[in-house]
Structure 1
């Protein structure tokens, strides 16, 4: 008797005409029967067998058939495959050395324990994308800031420190538009001047220098890991001021114009940068004692508010249960943004240096009482327990990641004013992340600001205000007076002519 192996080998023997075997054909036929479950399977088994054979050659029957197009997911997968390719030039010793990137896998693990984050697969792809960003841009430090959701696509945000010499590049790009404006002014001055307006625009608040205040860090964004990173521009006080008054969802395209009232000075890239600055100033927190104020020499510098900090080498950590129970063990380590749109107040009443030299001491004494009072925000490293409530909602909520195993849990902090901002702490380790729509909590509802009253076209006065039309009697009296005045003038001219003739 023949063995089962010989029977299977016979069934697996391919045909010389169709290059098929009966084993695979019967397998596909039985699967088709089980999927469709016809009423009379025995009667239609031959037709189903013919359909199975026809499906194998359906793609090659006609050359006019449209080929399947590559989907967006396949294109993205091809670009993300490059993240997993290892460069041959990189040495193993350089990888073991200290890198500008934190341990993103460890951060993702703690965020997963806290019940937030982006998932292990996406965190791994983001880590490889951040690694490529650091290598291409030569960044000294870089971290995952978070993810801002959009209606079309999302933004993955990376926070990095400025490189040496990058400040000069930013200043050059900022000065270019001013020169173009001056050229336009010179061209306009050659033409006839337009009528002057009494409107006085508000004073322009100067932008903070690169590496200070709201522009302390530089931010890069991309829609998906593997796509190119785009550097966001610096933020100006005017952009932060208007961003506080509007509410707009992001579209996922940086060049999209922001249509709002008040009008926003920029596109979506500038609006995204302004929202990142606001979220960082309100939600970037750390355990009490992890950072300490940087000591600076000089008595005058000690009186000024501290705007820098350094890591405290003597920090030993705070118990997780205490950090989950009290907000006094958490502090802000990012400067507060004032109402002026800056982290440090600037006096707009001070005139430029050229005019200050020409003025006398008497003028300076007269201007001193009119100077506005400097605005002072909360100092750096202020505890969260001093944060004020808004709309009857506490600004923060704290908890343990697990009450069943508190000895292995982490302290989790959630912002109620900026939904999507989270922070965790465990021993000497902590991290901040934001995953949300980039919108601040506005209470029960949001109402846009009302436009200002229209400016008056003219000032009321004797030369401008219209008078009432005269009546018929008044017109007659006026006409008689004009006729008498004209007759008297003619008589005076005649008498003057007669006197001239007598003299001759």
Structure 2
């Protein structure tokens, strides 16, 4: 039968109570643990004397069933002090191992948890010990702010304010009188007035952003030589957006890019040198390809067609404006076949099939040209063709210019909403060729025609069939002639409000280009675009398939390889050849004898 050891007798000779289990107050228990831990002998557990005062656990107590041999005072075999101390050191070393991810160790973490619990003394600490552990870990990685000097933290709102700070600064040496005189002839548009009319239908940006764009356009007009300026709209991007300004530069200020023409001339000179080298080395050459690439369609000149206007873009008001390059027909043709979201970076590559000839700046310029050609409309009668140029333009095949009608009588809102024939396109449409004015690639200049007179016969055989001229809808064509998309009309017209029709504004929405809007109120109208820059398609976008694989060369007796003849076949061929030659000689001799007899 196991007998517990007798309780320890203190040094003063006073006996303690012989009861096996005596509950104590928390404060007395903690004081007794501290006193015992300070007075324990080396090599002995710090709480051994305290544990000796307890009897065995009862079944209803929390410690019941946690018996470990060698670590209980009631075990028959008590381990040696050295081995017990070594086990404690090994356990502490294990708890002090740092984590490879966070760099913390469990020993310090448990010590911090106990310190936090003893300092705060929450009720039911065992229920919230997990939350306390999370708080302790979070405090390890949280910035400890100094009370004397805090770390400077820049919020996104402050960064945006710093960018827009330059918009509100005035130039040095400006006076109010000079500003009043400049406002009369300034090309700066009234963005806030346009935003007010679109706001009647719930379209547009916030007032703050509209005003910031207004100030950004003011800076653009003050720097660039601009004749007319207009807020074109905003195209959304995945990383950043594009704010676009439509600008018409002053005469003589547009930059002429002739780099493509120079490269074509250089290519011609290089080609002539190569032709001379090929003539000298014609022997032992493989057959040459007869394929001729299609002729390159040149871009339209600045100030005409798709390049009538110049466009500046920026990501946010306050950032510098960037001028977009002119658009080429090849870029417009390829933009019709692909659909890519903008990233907001002009130098980003456009990865697509068919491959796009340029980067995102060129793709953005092509989409702007397409949207402008299809969605810029005005009330009928607001613009008219000039009378002097009517005959000349009719002979050329179309009218490309218009002017404002001084005798324009504005239509009512009800008339503008009821019928689409009261709205017209005032921007030239883009032909399938990628230009507003058709270009004949096989038309030769006068010098080439003079050179070609000598070789007319050869050229007639080589000249391909001339393509048919492409003709698009003329300027100022009513919207009622626009084709819809399946069962969806091309446009939707409505009034801004039905409750107060006296002050309503006519709003026009494009269903072909979602995000394009137009308004008309009296003698004022405007166009704007807010969207992703994509055309509506009732079905999902399906990229174009690659062209079919080219067929192999035609197999015939001249190209097909034959097996080598055997020796017997060669001997038989020689024998037959000799027989035919003997017969031919005999026939010749007989013919000569007959001729001699006839002569006799």
Q: Report the TM-score range of the alignment, normalised by the length of the smaller protein.
A: 0.7 to 0.9
Deviates more, 1:208-217 or 1:455-464: 455-464
CA contact (8 A) 2:507 2:517 kept: yes
Map 1:123-138; keep pairs closer than 5 Å: 123-138=210-225
Match of residue 569, structure 2, among 475, 478, 481: 478
* Residue 383 of structure 2 is aligned to residue 291 of structure 1: yes
Contact preservation (8 Å) 1:396, 1:414: yes
Other-structure match for 2:248: 161
Q: Please tell me whether the aligned partners of residues 395 and 416 of structure 1 are also in contact (alpha carbons under 8 angstroms).
A: yes
**Where does residue 494 of structure 1 map in the other structure?**
none
CA deviations on 1:260-305 (whole Å, 9 max, x unpaired) are 1111111111110000000000000001111111223584434331
* Cα distance in 2 between the residues matched to 1:162 and 1:443: 39
The reply on whether 1:59 has 2:119 as its aligned counterpart is: no
Q: How far apart are residue 252 of structure 1 and its match?
A: 0.6
Residue 538 of structure 2 corresponds to residue 452 of structure 1: no
Deviating more after overlay: 289-298 vs 430-439: 289-298
TM-score after normalising by structure 1: 0.77
TM superposition outliers: structure 1 runs of 4+ over 6 Å: 182-195, 364-369, 482-488
- 2:343 alignment partner in structure 1: 251
Between 87-96 and 188-197, report the one with greater CA deviation.
188-197
Q: 1:123 to 1:373 in 2, by over 3 A?
A: same
Distance 1:486 1:346 in 2: 65
Partner of 1:326: 419
TM-fit CA distance, 1:446: 1.9
* Number of the residue aligned with 1:227: 319
Give the 5 Å matches for 1:71-470.
73-96=157-180, 97-98=183-184, 99-167=186-254, 169-175=255-261, 177-178=263-264, 196-297=288-389, 299-304=391-396, 305-360=398-453, 370-467=465-562, 469=563
Shift, 1:442, TM fit: 1.4
SS of residue paired to 2:249: coil
Alpha-carbon deviations, 1:440-484, whole Å to 9, x = none?
0111222111211122353433332344x57xxx63532544786
State the SS of the aligned residue for 1:159: strand
The structural deviation recorded for 1:487 is 12
Distance verdict in 2 for CA 1:184–1:255, change over 3 Å = farther
Contact between 1:76 and 1:226, CA under 8 Å: does it hold in 2?
Answer: no
| Aligned partners of 1:291 and 1:309 also within 8 Å | yes
Q: Using the alignment, how far apart are the partners of 1:300 and 1:311 within structure 2?
A: 20
Q: Does structure 1 conserve the Cα–Cα contact (< 8 Å) formed by 2:311 and 2:323?
A: yes
Alpha-carbon distance in 2 for matches of 1:399, 1:322: 11
Whole-angstrom CA distance in 2 between matches of 1:451 and 1:351: 33
Q: 3-state SS of the aligned residue for 1:451? A: coil
Q: Aligned partners of 1:486 and 1:374: how far apart in 2?
A: 64
CA contact (8 A) 1:317 1:428 kept: yes
Report the CA distance between 1:372 and its aligned residue.
3.0
Is the CA contact (8 Å cut-off) linking 2:236 and 2:532 kept in structure 1? yes
Contact 2:507 2:519 in 1 (8 A): yes
DSSP-derived class of the 2:527 partner = strand
Unaligned stretches of 5+ in structure 2? Answer: 1-121, 125-142, 580-600
Runs (5+) with no aligned partner, structure 1: 1-37, 41-56, 489-504
Which has the higher mean CA deviation after the structures are superposed, 311-320 or 197-206? 197-206
SS at match of 2:221: helix
Secondary structure at the counterpart of residue 354 of structure 2:
coil
**What is the alpha-carbon distance in structure 2 between the residues aligned to residue 345 and residue 83 of structure 1?**
44
Tell me the CA shift for residue 177 of structure 1: 4.9
Q: Could you say which residue in structure 1 is the equivalent of 2:72?
A: none
DSSP 3-state at the match of 2:487: coil
Would you say the 8 A contact 2:305–2:435 is kept in 1? yes
> 1:175: Cα distance to partner?
4.6
Which of 399-408 and 85-94 deviates more? 85-94
Structure 2 Cα separation of the partners of residues 72 and 462 of structure 1: 78
Q: Which sits farther off after the overlay, 192-201 or 412-421? A: 192-201
Give the direction of change, closer, same or farther, for the CA distance of 1:172–1:363 in structure 2 (3 Å limit): closer
> What is the RMSD computed on CA atoms of the aligned residues?
3.4
Quick one: structure 1 residues 204 and 71, their matched pair in 2 at CA, closer, same or farther if it must change by over 3 Å? farther
Secondary structure class of the residue paired with 1:358:
helix
